[in-house]
Amino acid sequence: MKPAAPDPMSSPSAPDVRAAAQPSPRIAEPRKLSYPAIIASVLAAALSTALVELLTGLQQDRITSLLMLAVAAVMVMIVLTSMLIRKNRHALSLAHVLARQNAQLAQTTRLLNDAQRIGRLGHWMSDETGEFAVWSEELFDIFGLPPASRVSFAKILEIVHPEDVGTYVRARDRSRATGCAFIQELRIIRPDGQVRWLRIEADANDPSEGTQSRFGIVQDITERKLAEIAAEQARLLLMDAIESLTNGFVLFDKDDRFVMSNTTFREMFPSWTVLMRPGVSFSDLMRQAYDHGLIRPKGDRFEEWLERKRAWHLGGSRMIERRELNGRWIQSVDHRISDGGTVCLVTDITAFKTVQAELEQKLAYVEAIRSDLERQKQELEATGAELRAARDAAEAANRAKSDFLAIMSHEIRTPLSGMVGMVDLLRGTSLTGEQKRYTALAKESADLLLEVINDILDFSKLEAGRLQSECIDFDVPNLIQSAVSFMGEKARKRGLDLEVTLAPGLPQYLEGDPTRIRQVLLNLVGNAIKFTEQGSIHVRASHRVRADGAIDLTIEVVDSGIGMSPEIQAQIFDPFVQADTSISRKYGGSGLGLAICKQLCTIMGGSIGVDSELGRGSRFWFEAKCRQGDALVLPAEPVVSAIDRPLEILVAEDSPIIATLIHSLLVKQGFKPTRVVNGAEAVAAVLKKPYDIILMDVQMPEMDGISATRAIRQLPGPEGHVPIIALTANALVGQREAYLAAGMNDYVTKPIQPPLLFAAIRRCALPQYADAPPLQPGSHGQLEMFVS
């Protein structure tokens, strides 16, 4: 009994969201569903009627017919009631749907507002005039205005930033005139003072609608805009930085396409600038540059070159230097950056290269100089070696010369001494007047020759530096007096006065080199005598105490002789110089005397000089550096009295042969020798009787010569003053000091040479033998030469 279709039952019971969104179809649905129900009811009524007629037709009773009719009526009523109920239920369902749709609408509106709030976006709709607009809620928030039903355009213009008003109005007017869509970004100053960036959009007008009202949105884009501004500022900063680079700067993106270059680069490569369009790839750029003749790879085909170039470009961070076609030097390095792009930095290093080239040139120059110097140095070294060799040769030659001189002098001197001795002996025999004259001349010549030889010997030794200075105590007045009196006879013979003046306060004793002082003094006095025809010679001695306690002993020799010109004075102390060659003919001499004196003074730490005037005489002076001296053990001044008898000579010598030899020599000379064999016997002999001279061997058994001399010097009375001559085989400077310090007066070296022995005896017996002086100044020094 349910013939109705299920749709009307099911439709309202299944309302859904889609239905709510499509209200129109939903309202039509109940009407459509009721047709089948009506049809069914009519069919049921018709069927009931037909059935009743059929039954009637079959001759049933009327009651049955009526009953049948009633049943049909009931059935119709049931159907109708059912239809009514069903209609009521549908109305209820519709109300429910409506309420739900209202709720959904409110929610949708709320969501829309929320969406606008979150998106900082509102919509508006202007009226026909454009003077007023209706705003969405959010729009008031965006503008900072209280909500209102409508907002005037004038109000908006008040709020828009004054700088943006003009643009905005023009754009809006244009849009309204054309009906085109309108988008404008502008600033507003809200009533609370905030400045906001807005994006205003208006939809295009649909001309078919024929209305001037517009719909649009407004979005607050302040955050985005500020970020954009910040980004732009950052970009500008970066650009400024890139622009300020003195390097050329080129940027390629990760696909190796050109992005940008800076001005420096464009100025460096103006012809490249036109090729460098953003987006062009590195390879294409190179190809174009090649086509434009900006690149000329040497020796390579272009594609091969490009391949290498690209590998370098992408390899990154490898610096290269190259010379451009325009002659400039370029240094470039390509760096890969984090996004895969490439930054190319290009530097013009032409100036640097120029400086470098100059430096290299200078370096080459310096190198040339250095090698030149090196070569010069080598030459100098070679020269130096040659010079050294030459010097060594010269020194060797000089030594050989000195040796030769020493030997020759020895060879000459020895026989000459013999000759002098022989002449002396000869003069002691009975001679005719003529023979006496000849022997006197022979003696004079021999003495002169001996003097010259002695000078040469001395000088050669001084030159060889073999002479040392002594430092012993000596008696100053005694030294001067004895030297002067040694020359006294010579002066007297020439009719010259020879005077000595000792300055007041002159020390009695000094420590120095009396031998050298005596030698210099004798030389100067000898010269003075030689060059003074008449008048006097004056010897003056003085001293000066230096700050360090040293004492300069100054001795002057002033003569009234021929004098000298300044030219002569200037060279008179040079060796082998005489005032005049005629002088050497007239006066003789080696010309070495003053040179020797000068060297001797130098050795003594002193100096020598002369003041002279031609025809007015000369003043020679010399200084010797001495120290304060002590009194001698005993004054060593020989005391030999002038006597007529033969000299009594004590010979202390342990060697019988030497003793015999000396004894024979002395006897032959007319002396009276006494022999003892050691020092002790010598002392004992002196105590027994006085002797005029003692010849004392230094090295003897029992008591040696030095000890014996000291012992004798300790004796009281005249015995203690007897002159003592050392006999020694060791006449070295140091040892001689010891002998003299012990109180010996003189010495004779072995081998015993008769002339030297006799000379020493004569020196000690000065007053008697002063007129026959074979001894020459400096003979002390010469003696050293005989010690071989």
Name the residues that contact another protein, by CB under 8 A.
411, 414-415, 417-418, 421-422, 425, 654-658, 660-661, 664-665, 668-669, 697, 699, 701, 729, 750-755
Of the pair 198, 419, the CB lying nearest another protein is at 419
- Contact indicator for 205, 177 with CB cutoff of 8 Å: no
In whole angstroms, the minimum distance from the beta carbon of 415 to another protein comes to 7
Spatial separation of the C-alpha atoms in residues 508 and 521, rounded to whole Å:
18
- Measured from the CB of residue 646, what is the shortest distance to another protein in angstroms? 17
Task: Pick the closer one to another protein by CB: 316 or 701.
Answer: 701
Q: Which residue has the tokens 């005596």?
A: 518
Sheet order of strands, 693-697 included: 672-676, 648-652, 693-697, 724-728, 746-749
Task: Write the DSSP string, 642-664.
Answer: --SSPPEEEEE-S-HHHHHHHHH
Copy the structure tokens of residue 661: 């030899």
Cβ closest to another protein, residue 315 vs residue 415: 415
Closest to another protein by CB, 175 or 417: 417
In sequence order, what are the residues at sequence separation of 6 or more whose Cβ sits closer than 8 angstroms to the Cβ of residue 585? Answer: none
Number of neighbouring beta carbons within 10 Å of residue 87: 13
Nearer to another protein, 138 or 653 (CB): 653
Instruction: Tell me if 316 sits within 8 A of 335, measured CB to CB.
Output: yes
Q: Which two tokens stand for residue 626?
A: 């001495």
**CA–CA dist 757, 762 (Å, integer):** 9
Which of 666, 736, 741 is CA-nearest to residue 709?
Answer: 741
Minimum CB–partner distance for residue 722 and another protein (Å): 23
Cα 167 → chain centroid: 71
Minimal CA–CA distance to 481: which of 464, 501, 466, 495? 501
For residue 371, what are the CA distances in angstroms to 79, 333, 376?
Answer: 138, 39, 8
Residue with tokens 């992005």: 259
Q: 15 or 418: whose CB is closer to another protein?
A: 418
Collapsing DSSP states into helix, strand and coil, what is residue 229?
helix
**728: which strand partners?**
749
Q: Which residues are paired to 474 by β-bridges?
A: 510
Q: How far is the CB of 707 from another protein (least distance, A)?
A: 15
Shortest Å distance, C-beta 393 to another protein: 23
Question: Smallest distance from the beta carbon of 667 to another protein, in angstroms?
Answer: 9
Least separation in angstroms between CB 655 and another protein = 5
Q: Closest CB to another protein among 199 and 750?
A: 750
Shortest spacing between CB 741 and another protein, in angstroms: 22
Q: Cα separation of 215 and 194, whole Å?
A: 26
CB of 724 to another protein, least distance (A): 18
Least distance to another protein, CB of residue 731, Å: 12
> Which of residues 242 and 450 has its CB atom nearest to another protein in the complex?
450
Helix (H) or strand (E) holding 118: helix 62-118
What is the Cα–Cα distance from 712 to 680, expressed in whole angstroms? 10
Residue 303 · residue 289 · CB < 8 Å: no
Task: State in angstroms the smallest separation of the CB of 656 from another protein.
Answer: 7
* Residue 204: DSSP 8-state: P
Closest CB to another protein among 82 and 414?
A: 414
Q: Of 601 and 666, which has the nearer Cβ to another protein?
A: 666
Q: Whose Cβ is closer to another protein: residue 626's or residue 649's?
A: 649
Two structure tokens written together for 554: 């100054």
